[in-house]
C-alpha cells in the first residue's frame, strides 16, 4: 500500500447510540483489525447522534485508544 494513502473505518452511529457495549467493542475492534495500517482514521459513518449516551461515546474512544496501544 502506498505511503500516501490512509484508511478510514466507520462505525455505525446507531450501534454506538443503542449498544450494548460489548457489541460496540466487537464492531470497533473488527474495523480496526481489518484496517490495520499506520494511517487509519476511525470515525462514525454519519456523525454522532444527539441522543447517544456519553458513556457509549467514551467507551468507543477508549476502545480505539486501547486497541492502538496493543
The pLDDT tens digits along the chain (70 residues) read: 566 677 777 899 999 999 999 999 999 998 888 876 667 778 887 789 999 999 999 999 999 989 875 5
The model's pLDDT over 25-39, given as tens digits with 9 standing for 90+, comes to 999 998 888 876 667
- Three-class SS state of 7: strand
Buried b (16+ CB within 10 A) or exposed e, 15-50: bbbeeeeeebbebbeebbeeeeeeebebebeeeeee
- Looking at residue 3, its pLDDT comes to 66
- Looking at residue 18, its pLDDT comes to 98
Cα separation, 11 vs 49, in Å, equals 12
Residue ranges covered by each domain of the chain: 7-68
Amino acid at each position: 500500500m502506498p505511503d500516501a494513502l490512509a484508511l478510514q473505518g466507520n462505525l455505525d452511529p446507531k450501534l454506538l447510540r443503542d449498544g450494548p457495549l460489548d457489541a460496540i467493542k466487537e464492531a470497533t475492534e473488527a474495523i480496526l483489525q481489518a484496517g490495520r495500517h499506520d494511517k487509519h482514521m476511525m470515525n462514525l459513518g454519519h456523525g454522532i447522534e444527539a441522543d447517544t449516551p456519553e458513556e457509549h461515546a467514551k467507551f468507543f474512544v477508549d476502545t480505539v485508544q486501547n486497541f492502538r496501544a496493543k
